[in-house]
Amino acid sequence: MRIVVLAKPVPDAGQERLRNDFRMDREATTEVINGNDEYALEAALKLVEASPDGGEVVLLAMAPDHAQETLRKGLALGAASAVLVTDPALEGSCALTTAHVLAAALRELSFDLVIAGVDTSDGGGGVVAAGVAALLGLPYLSYAARIEPSDGRVRVRRITPNGYEVLEAPMPALISATQALGAPRYPTLKGIMGARRKEIVIRTLADLDLAGARARGVEVGGAAATARVTGSRPRAPRGTPKVVQGSPAEAAQEVVTFLAERRLI
Amino acid sequence: MAGAIWVLGESKGSDLARVSAEVATLGSALGAAAGLDVVGVVAGASPDGLAAEFARYLPLVHSLAVPEAAETAFASAVGPSLAALVEREQPAYLLVGATSDGRDIAGILSVLLGWGVIANASAILWQDGRPEVEVSILGGKLLTTSVFTGQHGIITVRPTSVTAEPLASRGSVVPVTVSPEIALPAVTVVSRVAEESEAVPIDEARVIVCAGRGVGGPEGMHLVQALANELGGTVGASRAAVDSGWIPYSQQIGQTGKTVKPRLYVGLGVSGAMQHMVGMRTSETIVAVNRDAEAPIAEVADLVVIGDLFAFVQALISALQARST
Ligand SMILES: Cc1cc2nc3c(=O)[nH]c(=O)nc-3n(C[C@H](O)[C@H](O)[C@H](O)COP(=O)(O)OP(=O)(O)OC[C@H]3O[C@@H](n4cnc5c(N)ncnc54)[C@H](O)[C@@H]3O)c2cc1C
């Protein structure tokens, strides 16, 4: 079982900052692997561990060059190697061109499954994975709470707004992962040491075959982005909260009054 | 109707998803500001019923039958047909809810049409001849505005961004058919399971009582439920409570859970981690109960009760009961 995990380095939650041009500042803060991608990685590692004929997990990211450091965190958890697509021209890419670039990078890899997080914490819209699947002609099984491969096919329990559905398709396929797949493991010291020797393959735009994108009339890169942020402002603060202390009965009475004033009870 | 704004309707179970009605209302306001027609589209195996429901919110709804959607995964089944319809009718913009199906469709249509996507809109204005999309980012700390660089685009809209308003008179439903030239790999639907629940779904609830780690265990959960019953609300949870197995993942609020916007959110033993606040900070009124006066949830709260949640919740339930008798 060979699995490629789409792992996006993102600023740690709470530390994100925008630059003056409204792009995410990727230099100033420590980065982590996007939370939902970590669930994807954990699920992938478990599938490979359970696979009778072994296999490996490969990470794939499109990110600035310094993201190598963040990818090492995924290698420390057990991924065998990583591919980093990095090129100054890609800065400011939109979701559409990101899907084309990731699809081009995946065309060079062999895999039974691609697993990606359902969305990213740095403003991700949860649309890239579906686009990649459509570009590569891979069956797309999204919002996975459970993944069960057998006999060249894969079953996914997909979370729906009012329950779930069980999906099935032949492999290779692309799956998007949710937290319901299970919490990621912690790195071991041995894993961290071993990660230093693992390979991170660097790919620039010139290395990728983007004929597929061009055939659809799509140019990749930040300059050709289909959408652009033009402004930002802080949300108006809520003001200082009313603080209630005292005995439970007194506090309860104050809260009842507060709720009644706001016509909430 | 070239240049129109299209709104995609989706189902939740057998009904129209509430978010679709909201997006229709948002789209109608945008269309009025832009002087553009606003048209609904419902795709599916037998879309007519849903399209009729959608027509309560829009003057015209296309009902696009895609028989494959009966037994194969929705977005991959309807994506090529929707793309073919867009290419034939030439709308300018597509609006869809930022739900699981909505995002899947947006991603597929983006690559099939070569259109950009602006995701998670909370409002859309018409400025300088194009949509200007407001998005709340970084856990709600910042509001950004985005535009498309070209003449077309797909916008996903966060649930509860606006209140759905039905039209004075019902719109009309027009069945349409297309023969797409491409198909996406079929994904078989082996089964569909609806998990019935008495409670209002968390992302539609007007009152939410949210259990955090401080609730301590199943016993504490009974107390949370009792308060929710008293307030007519639904029980939600932080990830810590979900990870502890006290409540299903469907009730989780936050970055990897649901975004909620109730009239009243009551957090019990929730610290207010950034990943939690992303999902609840736009609630209308926020009450937090915590024994730690420094808990970050106070930053977004309207009222903070400092003290032990168990004693307080029992007292609050009694006070509410005393009030109603
Ligand atoms: C990738 C990623 C995604 C995440 N996604 C989410 C998400 O979607 N939703 C989410 O909620 N979290 C999410 N988290 C987790 C988040 O970071 C926090 O760990 C979590 O929200 C903490 O939950 P909590 O507030 O219930 O627990 P804690 O942070 O442990 O807080 C418990 C609080 O209860 C108070 N308390 C304890 N006992 C009592 C008592 N008897 N009376 C009164 N107060 C008491 C304490 O003072 C404390 O403030 C995510 C984390 C990561 C890394």
**Is residue B275 within 8 angstroms of chain A, CB to CB?**
yes
Q: Is the dihedral of CA A68, A71, A75, A80 positive or negative?
A: negative
Q: Residue A71 and residue A75: Cα distance in Å, rounded?
A: 6
The complex's ipTM? 0.95
> Are residues A101 and A68 in contact, defined by beta-carbon separation less than 8 angstroms?
no
- Give the structural domain span for B55: 5-176
CA distance B42 to chain A (A): 17
Chain A residues with CB under 8 Å of B194 CB are 162-163
Q: Model pTM greater than 0.90?
A: yes
Q: Are residues B25 and B136 in the same domain?
A: yes
Average pLDDT, chain B: 95
Q: Residue A120 and residue A86: Cα distance in Å, rounded?
A: 18
Q: Residue B136 and residue B126: Cα distance in Å, rounded?
A: 18
Q: Are residues B248 and B114 in the same domain?
A: no
Judge whether B303 lies within some domain.
yes
Judge whether B192 lies within some domain.
no
Distance from the first to the final alpha carbon of chain B: 59
**Percent over 70 (pLDDT), chain B:** 99
Q: Mean pLDDT over residues A176-184, rounded?
A: 95
Ligand 1 nearest atom to the CA of residue B272, by list position: 25
Judge whether B224 lies within some domain.
yes
Q: Residue B105 and residue B154: Cα distance in Å, rounded?
A: 10
Q: Are residues B169 and B228 in the same domain?
A: no
Instruction: Answer whether A265 sits within 8 Å of B231, measured CB to CB.
Output: yes
Q: Are residues B208 and B314 in the same domain?
A: yes
Q: Are residues B140 and B207 in the same domain?
A: no
Residue B219 Cβ inside 6 Å of ligand 1? The answer reads: no
Q: What is the pLDDT of residue A20?
A: 84
Q: What is the pLDDT of residue B307?
A: 97
Predicted confidence band at B200 (pLDDT cuts at 50, 70, 90)? Answer: confident
Q: What is the pLDDT of residue B5?
A: 98
> Are residues B64 and B41 in contact, defined by beta-carbon separation less than 8 angstroms?
yes
Judge whether B155 lies within some domain.
yes
**Which of these, B105, B211, B84, lies nearest to B156 by C-alpha position?**
B105
Q: Mean pLDDT over residues B247-264, rounded?
A: 92
Please report, for residues A112, A121, B282, the alpha-carbon distance to residue A11 in angstroms, rounded to integers and kept in the order given: 30, 8, 22
pLDDT for A172 beyond 80: yes
pLDDT for B182 beyond 90: yes
For chain A, state the CA radius of gyration: 22
Q: Residue B272 and residue B296: Cα distance in Å, rounded?
A: 5
Q: Mean pLDDT over residues B74-87, rounded?
A: 98
| Alpha-carbon B143 to chain mean position | 18
Q: Are residues B310 and B249 in the same domain?
A: yes
Q: Are residues B241 and B169 in the same domain?
A: no
Q: What is the pLDDT of residue B63?
A: 98
Given B158, B176, B194, the domain boundary residue is B176
Instruction: Report the number of distinct structural domains present in chain B.
Output: 2
Q: What is the pLDDT of residue B13?
A: 84
Tens of pLDDT along B137-158?
877 778 999 999 999 999 999 9
The domains found in chain A, sorted by start residue, are 2-224 (3.40.50.620)
pLDDT for B1 beyond 70: no
Q: Are residues B169 and B300 in the same domain?
A: no
Predicted confidence band at B244 (pLDDT cuts at 50, 70, 90)? Answer: very high
Judge whether B166 lies within some domain.
yes
CA distance A37 to chain B (A): 11
Q: Which strand (E) or helix (H) includes residue B123?
A: strand B117-127
For chain B, state the CA radius of gyration: 22
Instruction: Answer whether A128 sits within 8 Å of B107, measured CB to CB.
Output: yes
Tokens, residue A198: 């693992």
Instruction: Answer whether B307 sits within 8 Å of A245, measured CB to CB.
Output: yes
Chain A contacts in chain B segment 119-138 (CB below 8 A): 119-120, 132, 135-138
Tens of pLDDT along B163-178?
999 999 999 999 999 9
Judge whether B10 lies within some domain.
yes
Residue B282 Cβ inside 6 Å of ligand 1? The answer reads: no
B153-157 β-sheet, strand order: A227-234, B142-148, B130-137, B117-127, B153-157, B93-97, B5-9, B38-44, B60-65, B172-176
Given B161, B176, B191, the domain boundary residue is B176
**What CATH number does the domain containing B224 carry?**
3.40.50.1220
Q: Are residues B169 and B296 in the same domain?
A: no
**Most confident of the ranges A112-126, B131-145, B302-316:** B302-316
Token pair 């990660």 is found at: A195
DSSP letter string, chain A = -EEEEE--EEEPTT---B-TTSSB-SSSS-EEE-HHHHHHHHHHHHHHHH-TT--EEEEEEE--GGGHHHHHHHHHHT--EEEEE--GGGTT--HHHHHHHHHHHHHTS--SEEEEES--TTT--S-HHHHHHHHHT--EEEEEEEEEEETTEEEEEEEETTEEEEEEEESSEEEEE-GGG-PPPPPPHHHHHHHTTS-EEEE-GGGS--HHHHHTT---SGGG-SEEEEEEEEPPP--PPEEE-S-HHHHHHHHHHHHHHTT--
Judge whether B190 lies within some domain.
no
Predicted confidence band at A72 (pLDDT cuts at 50, 70, 90)? Answer: very high
CA distance B280 to chain A (A): 13
Predicted confidence band at B209 (pLDDT cuts at 50, 70, 90)? Answer: very high
**What CATH number does the domain containing B136 carry?**
3.40.50.620
Residue B276 Cβ inside 6 Å of ligand 1? The answer reads: yes
Q: Residue A124 and residue B58: Cα distance in Å, rounded?
A: 29
Tens of pLDDT along A240-258?
999 999 999 999 999 999 9
Residue nearest to atom 29 of ligand 1 (CA): B271
Judge whether B29 lies within some domain.
yes
